[in-house]
Amino acid sequence: MLKSVLGRCALTLLIASAAGCSHGKATAATGEKTEAKAVDYKTITPPDLVKQTPKGQLKNPYQDTQADIVADGQHLFLSYGCNGCHGGGGGGGMCPPLINDTWVYGGDDDTLFRLVTLGSDDLQKQGYTRIGQENVVGPMPPFGGIIKSADDLWRILAFVRSKYAGDPQYKFGAPPAPPPPSGE
Ligand code: HEC
């Protein structure tokens, strides 16, 4: 009895979703209002976004294949002076390259956003440690108070990603470790 009800439910769902997008869209739209506040990256500062987002959950809304976003990001990268240390293409200069497969604290969106916002010192105070060793070791200054909005920083990071020139497997950090060699 219970089973047949469940079965019917699943079937109805299937039919509803197969019936087209309009119904689903309406539900999603109304759902959005009741869901936890959607973040407007254009109006929130990077430090506020960092503060209100649990570790590991910051995700770039942009892709590095969006040419207009990447172009904006490049412009911002230069205007905020990132190039003074990292070089105009992010390839390094007096500071670590941003485009190779060595990531100092991790290569995921969340870690990069926090590093640029907080700087090395504050990031380390929050428990992060250097896991990757670049040829130059020094502190990244905090830019959270300088970069106008989280949106600007996401564009900058999309630009940085677009310049990535390392092993594709490491673009967003180290891939899962291979299983230890078996036997001896
Ligand atoms: C004063 C020099 C300086 C400036 C300016 C600077 N950085 Fe950095 N950046 C560093 C240093 C040094 C590190 C390495 C941090 C560490 O080892 O703790 C770093 C690390 C990074 C990393 C991580 C690189 C890796 O391989 O893991 C990213 C991403 C980054 N910076 C982005 C930026 C962006 C974006 C800007 C501009 C908003 C910027 N940096 C401005 C010095 C700088």
Report angle CA 154, 31, 44 to the nearest 5 degrees.
25
- pLDDT, tens digit, for every residue of 56-98? 999 999 999 999 999 999 999 999 999 999 998 888 877 888 9
- The pocket around ligand 1, CB under 6 angstroms, is made up of 80-82, 84-86, 95-96, 98, 102-104, 112, 115-116, 120, 130, 134, 137-141, 143, 156, 160
Ligand 1 center–CA 32 separation, angstroms: 36
pTM, to two decimals: 0.81
27, 35 contact by CB (below 8 A)? no
Nearest Cα neighbor of 50 from 112, 98, 120 is 112
What SS3 state is found at 163?
coil
Q: By CB neighbour count within 10 A (0-12 exposed, 13-18 middle, 19+ buried), where does 29 fall?
A: exposed
The CATH number of domain 46-170 is 2.40.110.10: no
Ligand 1 center–CA 138 separation, angstroms: 9
Ligand 1 center–CA 43 separation, angstroms: 24
- pLDDT, tens digit, for every residue of 10-33? 333 333 333 333 333 344 444 444
d(CA 75, CA 173): 25
Q: Which atom of ligand 1 is nearest to the CA of 138?
A: 12
Instruction: Indicate the pLDDT class of residue 174, thresholds 50, 70 and 90.
Output: confident
